[in-house]
């Protein structure tokens, strides 16, 4: 027996058009009324998602086509949000694999496809952006086929359906030659109904509902989001929730299903449907809701281990507490505990200092997104340089490795190869695409990539594409030399002047402009040499009676680009910190006192 429901995910690499495609599926299915104003990329509801153009948190929505309800989950494509991808694929029976017609399958395509094949999902391959001037759809399709084979797909999985699309315009076709005649996404709608199987219903099986996500409703409180694996749920039913270490009964107060991108209240959820349950005091991702009389809990969701960590502590700079409302360790701990409820790929550990927490995640981007969210919520924080998580097995030190795929214009391939070689990267493959671009694959320790992204963008004039995929833990590769420049450090509190900055211009590159408030120990620039220097940037020009023509004109300083949070996290060394407040991102020394800093530097050089 089956029901008129289809559960599917949209999976792809970052920026290959997942969210745009979902928008058009919802619009063309008649989910929105004709005159309803619908914003672009409506599935990316977080401010950060809209600004960065990436999906961070998985979203649920649905449409009805030919009297069949199709539940769609739009998943993140970035491997840093792999925790989202893994648990979302647990809710679906099929997936549309979206691939860019020019870039082809990239590491995150591989990452999400591997997870989908392991769960034996039915895959539809959608070659998107076929209107690009550098599109090479046939070659890309061959690359996708090779990827399936490389991932040990079964004969049945390799026999996938293919559709071509221009998601931005809401067009799809079965044959690329029909590109000019395509009018809508009808062929994709039909293919989804034909390919994605309805949820299997096991007769007379006790209730099973695995919690894959958490949501919050102002009226009914916490919501457990997931898929009904077996049985059915009704408002008023008494059910059992199985936590990691205990079980507890509760009565269902409300049930919600998805209609378009909204939640609507329903009286009942049946097998196969994706919905949300209210009524329990506490709920965590991975918990299972089951029958009180005949409990049959499902295995908990497992996600890959974190590989990168930072220390997050209370801001103790001279300007602490001037901008943020949440400045205490108690507030920071409460916020991190709340994040753990939603984010299964994150881990928080206490340290021997009460005001410092170790936050571990899947990558720098995931950690930077959390910090940026907290900053916008009014938090003030100090952030250390990201460090990789080491392991020890049989007395051998192990570290996480990454497979890095670089796609660059031919003239930049030498600079990229040299830099990654210095960071202990080993080239595995080099392939010229024939269109003036080269694709290079490296295997590199994860710590070799910390601080490299901004260098990479500079080296490739912003035109390079870099993607990573975890390779697990391997033997430690030894020391990697990172930044070879020192810091320019302010030696007093006050306001930076144009006169002082102009006089110091030959010392290096500045991060600040005239008028910025500085304090002792704050890093205001990058020294052109390898040592740190302390300078007075508050110095004003002494006034005299003599005026020389032209020499007293306003100073003209080189334009300064303020550091972003990620750039600052990548730039700092182990003895430096990023100070994050609602209005500012500053870089500072861990030791604000100059004498203490010199003592530490001397100790480091003696040990080194």
- Per-residue pLDDT tens digits for 177-211: 887 788 889 999 999 999 999 887 777 788 999 88
Q: Residue 87: what pLDDT?
A: 67
Q: Residue 469: what pLDDT?
A: 76
Model confidence at 58, pLDDT cuts 50, 70, 90, reads very low
Q: What is the mean pLDDT of residues 555-584?
A: 84
CB-CB contact of 279 with 238 (8 Å):
no
Q: What is the mean pLDDT of residues 348-356?
A: 92
Residue 252 pLDDT exceeds 70: yes
- What separation in angstroms does the CA of 187 have from each of 29, 97, 165, 167? 12, 15, 10, 13
Q: How far apart are CA 431 and CA 438, in angstroms?
A: 6
CB contact burial 408-430 (16+ within 10 A = b; e otherwise):
beeebbebbbeebeebbbeeeee
What is the chain's mean pLDDT, rounded?
82
Name which of 110-124, 241-255, 453-467 the model is least confident about.
453-467
Q: Residue 426: what pLDDT?
A: 93
Q: Residue 356: what pLDDT?
A: 94
Residue 76 pLDDT exceeds 60: no
Q: What is the mean pLDDT of residues 556-561?
A: 72
What does the block give as tokens for 11?
A: 């999976």
Range with top average pLDDT, 104-113, 220-229, 305-314:
305-314
Q: Rounded to the nearest 5°, which phi and psi values hold at 402?
A: -125, 145
Q: Residue 108: what pLDDT?
A: 67
CB-CB contact of 341 with 286 (8 Å):
no
518, β-bridge pairs: 494
- Of residues 100, 153, 150, 159, the one with CA closest to residue 126: 100
Q: How far apart are CA 342 and CA 259, in angstroms?
A: 22
How many Cα atoms within 13 Å fall on the side-chain side of residue 458? 7
Residue 226 pLDDT exceeds 70: yes
Q: Residue 563: what pLDDT?
A: 83
Residue 392 pLDDT exceeds 80: yes
Q: What is the mean pLDDT of residues 526-543?
A: 88
Q: Residue 344: what pLDDT?
A: 67
Q: What is the mean pLDDT of residues 348-371?
A: 88
Q: Residue 457: what pLDDT?
A: 79
CB-CB contact of 576 with 522 (8 Å):
no
495, β-bridge pairs: 517
Residue 546, SS3 per DSSP:
coil
Q: What is the mean pLDDT of residues 519-532?
A: 91
Residue 362 pLDDT exceeds 80: no
Q: Residue 522: what pLDDT?
A: 95
Model confidence at 41, pLDDT cuts 50, 70, 90, reads very low
Concatenated DSSP letters for 286-312? T-EEE-SSS--PPPPP--PPP-EEEEE
Model confidence at 40, pLDDT cuts 50, 70, 90, reads very low
Q: What are the structural domains, with CATH classification, of the chain?
A: 5-195 (3.40.50.300), 208-290 (2.40.30.10), 308-388 (3.30.70.870), 391-475 (3.30.70.240), 487-607 (2.40.50.250)
Range with top average pLDDT, 151-155, 250-254, 283-287:
250-254
Which helix (H) or strand (E) element contains residue 570?
helix 565-571
- pLDDT, tens only, 407-448: 888 888 899 999 999 889 999 998 876 668 888 999 999 888
Model confidence at 84, pLDDT cuts 50, 70, 90, reads low
In the chain, % of residues over pLDDT 70: 86
Q: Residue 19: what pLDDT?
A: 73
- Residue 507 DSSP label: G
- pLDDT, tens only, 98-108: 888 888 887 66
What does the block give as tokens for 392?
A: 């020890």
CB-CB contact of 455 with 390 (8 Å):
no
Residue 15 pLDDT exceeds 50: yes
Q: Residue 50: what pLDDT?
A: 40
């Amino acid at each position: 027996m089956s029901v008129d429901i289809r559960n599917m995910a949209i999976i792809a690499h970052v920026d290959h058009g997942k969210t745009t495609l979902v928008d058009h599926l919802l619009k063309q299915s008649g989910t929105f009324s004709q005159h309803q104003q619908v914003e672009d990329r409506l599935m990316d509801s977080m401010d950060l998602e809209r600004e960065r153009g990436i999906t961070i948190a998985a979203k649920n929505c649905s449409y009805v086509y030919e009297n069949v309800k199709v539940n769609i989950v739009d998943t993140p494509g970035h491997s840093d949000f792999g925790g989202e991808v893994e648990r979302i694929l647990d809710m679906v029976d099929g997936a549309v694999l979206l691939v860019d017609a020019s870039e082809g399958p990239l590491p995150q395509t591989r990452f999400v496809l591997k997870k989908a094949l392991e769960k034996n999902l039915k895959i539809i391959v959608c070659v998107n952006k076929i209107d690009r001037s550098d599109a090479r759809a046939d070659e890309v399709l061959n690359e996708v086929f090779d990827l399936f084979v490389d991932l040990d797909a079964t004969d049945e999985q390799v026999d996938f359906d293919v559709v071509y699309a221009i998601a931005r315009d809401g067009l799809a076709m079965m044959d690329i030659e029909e590109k000019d005649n395509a009018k809508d996404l009808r062929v994709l709608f039909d293919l989804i109904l034909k390919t994605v199987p309805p949820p299997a219903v096991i007769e007379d099986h006790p209730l099973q509902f695995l919690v894959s996500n958490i949501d919050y409703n102002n009226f009914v409180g916490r919501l457990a989001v997931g898929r009904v694996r077996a049985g059915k749920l009704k408002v008023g039913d008494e059910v059992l929730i199985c936590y990691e270490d205990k079980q507890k009964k509760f009565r269902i107060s409300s049930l919600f299903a998805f209609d378009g991108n909204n939640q609507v209240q329903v009286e009942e959820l049946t097998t196969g449907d994706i919905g949300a349950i209210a009524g329990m005091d506490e709920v965590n991702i991975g918990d299972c809701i089951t029958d009180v009389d005949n409990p049959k809990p499902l295995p908990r969701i497992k996600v890959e281990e974190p590989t990168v960590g930072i220390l997050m502590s209370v801001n103790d700079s001279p300007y602490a507490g001037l901008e943020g409302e949440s400045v205490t360790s108690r507030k920071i701990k409460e916020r991190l505990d709340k994040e753990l409820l939603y984010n299964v790929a994150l881990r928080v550990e206490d340290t021997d200092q009460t005001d410092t927490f170790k936050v571990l995640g899947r990558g720098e981007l995931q950690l930077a997104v959390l910090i940026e969210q907290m900053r916008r919520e009014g938090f003030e924080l100090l952030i250390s340089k990201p460090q990789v998580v080491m392991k020890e097995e049989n007395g051998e030190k192990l570290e996480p490795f990454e497979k890095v795929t670089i796609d660059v214009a031919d003239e930049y391939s030498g600079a990229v190869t040299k830099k990654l070689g210095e960071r202990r990267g080993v080239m595995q493959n080099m392939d010229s695409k024939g269109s003036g671009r080269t694709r290079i694959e490296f295997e590199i320790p994860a710590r070799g990539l910390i601080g490299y992204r901004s260098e990479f963008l500079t080296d490739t004039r912003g035109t390079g594409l870099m993607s990573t995929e975890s390779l697990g833990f391997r033997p430690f590769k030894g020391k990697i030399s990172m930044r070879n420049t020192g810091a320019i450090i302010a030696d007093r509190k006050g306001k930076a002047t144009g006169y002082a900055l102009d006089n110091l211009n030959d010392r290096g590159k500045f991060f600040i402009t005239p008028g910025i408030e500085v304090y002792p120990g704050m890093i205001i620039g990058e020294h052109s040499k390898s040592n740190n220097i302390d300078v007075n940037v508050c110095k004003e020009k002494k006034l005299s009676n003599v005026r020389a023509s032209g020499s007293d004109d306003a100073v003209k300083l080189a334009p300064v680009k303020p550091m972003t949070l990620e750039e600052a996290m990548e730039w700092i060394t182990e003895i430096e910190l990023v100070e994050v407040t609602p209005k500012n991102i500053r870089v500072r020394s861990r030791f604000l006192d100059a004498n203490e800093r010199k003592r530490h530097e001397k100790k480091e050089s003696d040990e080194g």
